Every structure is written in C-alpha cells, then in structure tokens.
Structure 1
Amino acid sequence: MCFTSLIFFEVMILIIKDLISNLAILVTTLFLYTQVTSDSPLKTSSSVSRKIIAGLLAGVLSNVLMQYSMDFGETIVDLRHVPLIVATYYGGTLPGIITMFLIITGRFMIGVNPSSLAALIMIILITCATVLSNLMNVRRSIKISTALTASNIIFTVIISFLIRDLNIMLVLAPSFWILSYTAGFTSFYIIEYVRKNQKVLDNYKSEATTDALTGLNNVRKFDETFNQVSSQAKQKNERLSLLFIDIDHFKTVNDTYGHKEGDQVLIQLGEILKNTVRSFDVVSRNGGEEFTVILLDCPTERAEQISESIRENVEIHPFSLTTGETIHVTVSIGLACYRETTESTIELISDADAALYEAKKGGRNRVCIA
C-alpha cells in the first residue's frame, strides 16, 4: 500500500512539474509578445495580415509547448490549447483557425497514431468551443471561463480513452484542470496588464502634447513641431508661413456667458481651423484664446488667402452654446513668412506675434502681414 502511494505521489509530482514548465514557457512568451506588440495590440478589428501573423505566432507557441509535453506512452499532455484560446479571443476566428491547423500539423509531425488522431479531434472541438464562447454576449471573464472549462472537459473525455491507468487519471485530470485555469487566467491577466499600462502611457504622452479641451497640439507640441519644420524649410529651401490667431474680445464672452460657454467657442474654433487649413498644416492652441497655424511650404500670398478664409469662416459661424443660444465672434490674425517677410526662422514667431498686435491695434477682425 505504501509502495503504491509512493508511486502515486511520484507520478503526481512529475505531472505537476511538467505542467508548470509548460506554464512558465507560456507566460514568459506571452509577456514578451505583449510587450513587443503593445503599440499595436491584436484586436478583432485588426487587419487580416495582423491576424494571420498572430495566428502563426500562437501556433508556433503551441508547438513549443508540445515539445515540452508530458509523455505517457499512449499520448502526450500539455497546455497547447491556451495560445489558441488567447488568439481567438483577441483576434477572432481567423487566428484561431490558423493556430488550430499549426497545432494539428505539429502533432502529426511528432507521430501518426491513435493518440494524434484523438488530438486532432480534441483541438478541433476546442477551437469550435472557443469560437462559440467568443460570440457570447457576456463579459470577458465569462467568455474566458467558458472557453477554458469547455477545453478542460473535452480534454478529460478524450484523454480518458487514451490513458487507462486510473491512478494516473486521478492525478492528471485535476492537475490539468487547475493548471489549465491558472495558465489561461494568468495569460489574460498579463496581456490586459500590459495593455492597460500601455494605454496609461499613451494617455500621458497624449496629454503631454495635446490640448485637453480642443484636441489640438498644445504649446509644447507646437514648439517641438516648429523647430522640426523650421529645420526642414532651411534644408529644402522652402517657404514657411506662420499664423498667430486670437479671438477678439474673448474676455467679454467669458464674462457674459461664463467660462463653460467660452470653452465651447474655443472647441468650435479649433474645428473651424482644422477644416479650413490644408490637411498637412499644423494647428495648435498655444494657450487661452491664442491659436497658431504652421503652413508648410506656403508663400505669403497663399498664406494670406488661407488667413482670410479662416477670418471669414469664423465671422459667419454661429457658435453654439450649451444653453441653446448662438453667438458670433471674430478673430485677428498675424502672418509671417520665412524667406519673404522674415529672413530667419528664429524671428518668425516674434514677427507673426507683432503682426497680430497690429491687426488688433488696427480694429480687429482682420489679417495683418509682418
């Protein structure tokens, strides 16, 4: 009896040890993959090529896990199903099917026998169960639990026909279930953890360069971009125009309607600027009611036309307030152009600012050229 118990205990240790090795490989690989692809994570809306690559990588990982599987003579046992579930959950049916075919191919390369045929049936059933669970209109944890539970049930039923030793099955089945759940939930936790951190980092980056109210570049991004395009203009011998834009009597708007309504004016002005300038021009909110537009490779004459279009579009636009009222505002614009009105890019900002001052001094709602 003691000898039997000792053998039972040794078998249990070997099974758990091999499954933990699988778990370590799986978790480490998924962590590295998620870190590398954090800028463009796999989604159901990802491109077909992206899904194909994800399916291929998941299939390769499953084959690696099979190389470190437990060999029971009649069959081998591992956690190859987890990458399939992960790929299907995040990428949809296509990467799941690709992973399935790679698993089947890899299993038959290990050997063609009743065990590999059983593995074929098992992985097809697991793929179908995973795809169906992914279509369920429930929260993520339930989808994952359903896919893992279905996989564990399918594994247990099929493996029971291959391994007839009851003592081994009494250890293998519960050990597999526990580590399958552990591997599955750990994999999803790692992926979500890395994605969440990347999202926070992206938000920090965006906040560092984007005006929170209008979604335009902020003054920090303006400075960075201006330095870049100034250098390019010098190298390529191009003209570079800069517009300084200020809302006329904006303080009166805030005093009369409140800062909340003033924010609505700023937001709508940002939209007007983006819709009026060319798609490759750079619009920024430099602070308060002050905006700038960098017009790339743009001579003074063309810059003046764009400036007048901005001024006119603002003048005729009914700015909607949250109260349902509409008001009208105007803007003053200062224009400077490198190589035409200004000899140095260093002086471009000060010249555009000086031109803006002249526009406001001259009666507002006008464009002045440096």
Structure 2
Amino acid sequence: MLFKDLFMNFCILATFSFFGSMLLNYLNAHFKTSTYIKRQWIGLFFGCLGATLMQFTFPVGDNVLLDLRQISIVLSISMGGSVAGIITTIMIMITRIILSPTIGLSAILGLINAATLCIVASWIFSRSMTFYKKWLYSGIALTIIATASLCIVLGRNEIDKVLVFIVVESAATLFIFMLTRSLRKNNELFEKVSKEAQFDFLTGLHNPRAFEKKFEQLQHQETDMAHSLLFIDIDHFKKVNDVYGHPAGDAVLFQLANVIQQSIRSTDYGARKGGEEFAVWLEYCQLTEAKMIAETLRTNVEKKKFILPNGKMIHITISIGIGMYPALMWDELLEKTDQALYQAKQQGRNRSCLAQSSL
C-alpha cells in the first residue's frame, strides 16, 4: 500500500513540475516586464500542488499519515522566488486549516513547519551559488525541519517511522531536483535555439527572418498609426575587407550594431539584413522624428572610431534610406525605402534620403 501511495505522489510531483515549467516559460514570454505577476502565478500554481499532495497521504505506521507538501514550497521558490514561496505557503496553511478545523499539536507544527521552510529556502535560493547547491541545502533543510516536527509528534519510541519518512522525503526531493534540473536544461536549450533562430550570430541584432516576421506583424495590425523604416548600408565596406581582412570587417559590423542600438529608441527594432546592410523599424514614429533618428545615427557612426583586431582605428560612414507608412503602402514600403538608400549612395554617400511614393 505504501508503494502505491508513493507512486501516486511521485506522479503528482512530476506532473506539476512539468506543467509548472511550461507555465514559467509562458509567463516569461508574455509578462517580460512584470516579474511580480509571474511570481504570483507560480505561487498559486504550486500552492495547488501543495493542496493536492495533502489529499494523497501515505502511511508510515499505524495511524500515522504523512504527505510531501513541503516539496511544493521549495519548488515554488526555485521557480518564482520568495514571493511565490510565500503565496504557496499561505495556500498550504489555509488548506491545512480547512482540512482540519481542530487545531492540535500536529496542525500547529505543520503551520510552523511550512513557514520555517519558506523562510529558510527563500534565503538559500537568494544566495549566490549553483542550482545544485541551492537544492541540496534546501533539501537538507526540508528534511531536518519536517523530521523535527515528526519527532515531536511521535516521540522517541517511533524512531522507525521517522527513519522511513526521512528516506521517503529525501528520495522525493532528489527526484524533483533531477526532474527540475532536466527541465531547466531543456528550457535553456530551447531559449538558445529560439534566440539563434531570431538573432544574427555576429551582431546580436535580429536576423533577416525575424525582420520579415516583424514586417508581417506590422501589416496585420490594421492601424493608420505611422511607422518608419530605415535601410542602412556601410559606405565602401568592401575596401575594409580588402585592406584589413574579413576579421576586421566583422569587427566593424559588430561595433556598428552597437552604435545602431545606442542611437535608436529602446522600443525600436534593429536587424541585420545581410552583409553590410542593416534595417531599423521605428514603430509609431512620425517622419520628423524618423529623420532626427537617422541623422543622429549617421552622425554617431561618422564620429566613432572603429577598432580593428590589430588595434588600428578607422572611420566609416553610412548611407540611409528612410521610408514611412502610411505615406507608402505596405506593398511598396520595402522597395521604395531600398531605392531611397540607393539614391543616398548616388548623391555622394554619408547621407540619408527619403523614399517617395510612386503615386
């Protein structure tokens, strides 16, 4: 009977850990600027885990039923921090009171147990140490706190039951640690692959595929709000590669990407189109502001000293084509902006030109 109950508990822990990891990924994707909201949801989710585990007790002797609710607190803190852990702990306390309205010694110890573990685990996970050590110390703290409470309730004559509980609690903690570590590694790998699919490996800006996807998203917004587009090309970039070598060219591209990021607004979308060509989406940006941003960028590039791998410093210039919606319709915006860039080069480079509608 014990093994059947433990199997059920381990299945519940595995299920909640897996879906908790999925929930965390979803929250990170949709609430990037609201850490507090993420922590609340994580706390509520693992509070439900703690409440569920309290429904699936397992026997360690005659009239002695235990559960693994404490693990849900450590899980919550590991994924959502102390705020999530506090919410989970409060939900466990409320569930304990609802299940057993009569407050006896075991109930009081259970409440103290949960609160103490929350405080200790929050402190451990706030320290600067490896994920493995955080779980190791939290697991030790969990076992010590739970064992101490159990010893007080059962007394010295029930040491065999205490030992069984220690083995079960330690095994469950080790199981969850290994599972969460695996999920954590998978999530990190997924984030790495996702980033590589969206960002240019050399400059850190968005890649051509991400640029096209952004263009499609803007098209489907169905709004008349102004959007501006900058196409940027390095003047005489071939000479840099021919004279100083391709590593020097890569260094220039990397440093130019930094200048672009520093010259545009935080809400703007920089991308590398390929080679020495770059693009910037200026969302909700009128023509006057777009011209100012383009001129700021052009001036910043002209003034900057680009450092090559051999230590030599050179200057470069850029040409910029400026296009704007709705002055240009979506189906002609890219082409006309590219034509404006070509015009800037024809007129002597190191300048910007405005795209004109064919209408």
Q: What TM-score, normalized to structure 1? A: 0.79
* In 1: Cα distance, 2:116 partner to 2:273 partner: 59
Contact map agreement 1:315 1:330 (CA 8 A) in 2: yes
Q: Which protein is bigger by CA-based radius of gyration? A: 1
What's the offset of the Cα at 1:125? 4.7
Structure 1 residue 301, shift from structure 2 partner: 5.8
The secondary structure found in structure 2 opposite 1:38 is: helix
2:58 pairs with one of 70, 77, 84:
70
Q: 1:11-30 counterparts in 2 under 5 A?
A: 14-30=1-17
Q: Which deviates more, 60-69 or 108-117?
A: 108-117
1:208: Cα distance to partner? 1.8
Q: Does 1:285 align with 2:276?
A: no
Deviation (angstroms), 1:329:
0.6
For the structure 1 residues 325 and 60, does the alpha-carbon distance in structure 2 shift closer, same or farther, using more than 3 Å as the test? same
Within the candidate set 179, 182, 185, 1:196 is matched to 185
Q: 1:60 aligns with which of 33, 48, 58?
A: 48
Which residue, 116, 128, 133 being the options, matches 1:142? Answer: 133
Q: 1:82 to 1:330 in 2, by over 3 A?
A: same
Residue 21 of structure 1 and its aligned partner are, at CA, apart by 2.3
Higher RCO structure, 1 or 2 (CA under 8 Å, sep 6+): 1
Unmatched runs of 5 consecutive residues or more in structure 2: none
Q: Which residue of 1 aligns with 2:74?
A: 85
Task: Give the aligned CA root-mean-square deviation in angstroms.
Answer: 3.3
The one-letter amino acid paired with 1:345 is W
Aligned position for 2:349 = 364
Question: Secondary structure at the residue paired with 1:213?
Answer: coil
Distance 1:106 1:257 in 2: 70
Q: TM-score, normalised by structure 2?
A: 0.81
> 1:40 deviation in Å?
3.5
2:334 is paired with a residue of what secondary structure? helix
SS in 2 for 1:364: coil
In 1, Cα distance between equivalents of 2:283 and 2:182: 41
- Structure 1 runs not aligned, ≥5 long: 1-13
What is the Cα deviation at residue 202 of structure 1? 2.5
Q: In the TM superposition, what whole-angstrom CA distance separates every residue of 1:114-166 from its partner, at most 9, and x where no partner exists?
A: 33234345445544553454466543333323332343344444434544696
Query: Could you tell me whether the CA contact under 8 Å between 2:322 and 2:354 is conserved in 1?
Result: yes
- After superposition, the Cα gap between the structure-2 partners of 1:243 and 1:102, relative to the gap in structure 1 and judged at 3 Å, is closer
Q: Residues of 1 paired with 2:146 and 2:198: CA distance? A: 51
Q: Is 1:311 aligned to residue 298 of structure 2?
A: yes
- 1:225 pairs with 2:175: no
- The answer (yes or no) to whether the contact 1:19–1:78 under 8 Å persists in 2 is no
SS at match of 2:201: coil
- Preserved contact between residue 88 and residue 96 of structure 1 (Cα < 8 Å): yes
Q: Which amino acid aligns with 1:28?
A: T
What is aligned with 1:4?
none
1:346 aligned partner: 331
- Residues 54-105 of structure 1, C-alpha deviation per residue, up to 9 Å, x if partnerless? 3343333223212221366654311111112222344444443443444344
